[in-house]
Amino acid sequence: LINDFESQLDGISDWILSYSDLRPDTERTLAGQAFLATNVAYSLAGLYLAQSGDLSFGFLTEITAVASFTYHYGQLESQGVNGLPSVRLALLIDYVLAFSSIGVALFYLFSFSNDQILTVLTPSILALSSLGASWVWVKGKPYMILHGLWHFLSAYTGYLVGVIHAGTM
């Protein structure tokens, strides 16, 4: 079933399940470990959201952190070999959870006032800009820096959306 879905995605575009070559860095280099550590931002946001009473969004953010870490670990471990089934599967799971988190955040936004929406506007634009830039500069450290910024800024945006929704901000 998963292989069929991957094949369908590949039929749409060959880049959807492709991933960046991060050589010379690996999961063992300082830069690779720093990049992996950017996923802690999701974990902290999820923990705070769960403690603030939004257990579902907090839990979703936590498992998104695990999925993102797992994918990027495999990406670093792959040493530039693209198309590894384990990394493609981790990327697919990361996509599903990231889009689910974004969907929940957008659902929450529909209940926000204009002032509350303005609170999350700047960090969400910066987050999406970082993500987009990491799709332009797709190799090595530039990718890790830009995509790491995506992790920080999207986690912060999710945190803001969650605390506004929970009424704790």
**Residue 123: which residues within 8 A CB-CB, separation 6 or more?**
153, 156, 157, 160
The predicted-structure confidence for 135-163, as pLDDT tens digits, reads as follows: 999 999 999 999 999 999 999 999 999 99
Inter-CA distances, 79 with 84, 85, 91, 140, Å: 11, 14, 16, 11
What was the pLDDT predicted at 8? 57
Q: Distance between CA atoms of 27 and 35, rounded to whole angstroms? A: 9
Residue 7 has pLDDT above 70, yes or no: no
The pLDDT of 88-111, averaged and rounded, is 93
Residue 6 has pLDDT above 80, yes or no: no
Residue 1 has pLDDT above 80, yes or no: no
**Residue 73: which residues within 8 A CB-CB, separation 6 or more?**
27, 36
**Model pTM above 0.95:** no
Give the pLDDT band of residue 83 (cuts 50, 70, 90): confident
Task: Please report the sign of the dihedral spanned by the C-alpha atoms of residue 44, residue 47, residue 53, residue 55.
Answer: positive
What was the pLDDT predicted at 10? 55
* Helix/strand/coil for 156: helix
Residue 132 has pLDDT above 70, yes or no: yes
Average pLDDT of the residues of the chain: 91
Residue type, 58: G
Residue with tokens 């403690």: 51
What was the pLDDT predicted at 3? 63
